[in-house]
Amino acid sequence: MKLETLSDLLVEQLQDLYDAETRITEALPKMAKAATSTKLKAAFEKHLKETEGQIARLEQVFEHLGQKAKRKTCKAMKGLIEEGSETIKEDAEPEVKDAALIAAAQRVEHYEMAGYGTVRSFAKLLKQAAVVRLLEQTYDEEKATDEALSELAESTINLEAV
């Protein structure tokens, strides 16, 4: 796809996010299984359900833009998930592994927040109000997940890892 306009770039970036979210739905169950903290397992399971909703929301965004929902390989997410997989396999004390899982998950959340912030800005410039609302909803969920992971890490997991 040749990128000639901001609309083209918006679609290309959405395809990247669509791939990223799909990859996350495959990784989250593995992270939940690897977590020893019941609160962390629950956080990963909750975010899996949210991510499934975010994929559906991206499909709505493509529809609003008159585009077919399709994936473009997100190399960054592939790498982040690969790092998370290494964390799962790591020989570590359970509490330390939980702290490492949170660190890996937060890297993913920060990448997603950057991506959704960017596409939301493009959609605003393109006066795509419905698309902006959908993307804003996902951005807010990603931010809330990141904050919940920080709270969990700072209140218990990291303290137990000490």
Residue 71 lies in a domain: yes
Mean of per-residue pLDDT scores for the chain: 97
pLDDT class for 1, splitting at 50, 70, 90? low
Q: Region 46-50: what's the mean pLDDT?
A: 97
Of 107, 104, 119, 113, the C-alpha closest to 144 is 113
Residue 61 lies in a domain: yes
Answer whether 87's CB lies under 8 Å from 97's CB: yes
Answer whether 61's CB lies under 8 Å from 115's CB: no
Query: Can you give the pTM of this predicted structure?
Result: 0.94
**Can you read off the two tokens belonging to residue 93?**
């004390």
Please return the burial class of 158, using the count of CB atoms within 10 Å of its CB with bins 0-12, 13-18 and 19+. middle
Range of the domain at 106: 6-161
Residue 1 lies in a domain: no
What is the number of structural domains in the chain?
Answer: 1
| Residue percentage of the chain with pLDDT more than 70 | 99
d(CA 71, CA 62): 11
* CA–centroid distance for 62 within its chain: 18
Number of other CB atoms surrounding residue 122 within 10 Å:
19
What CATH number has the domain bearing residue 83? 1.20.1260.10
Residue 20 lies in a domain: yes
Residue 75 lies in a domain: yes
d(CA 141, CA 73): 23
Residue 89 clears pLDDT 90, i.e. is over it:
yes
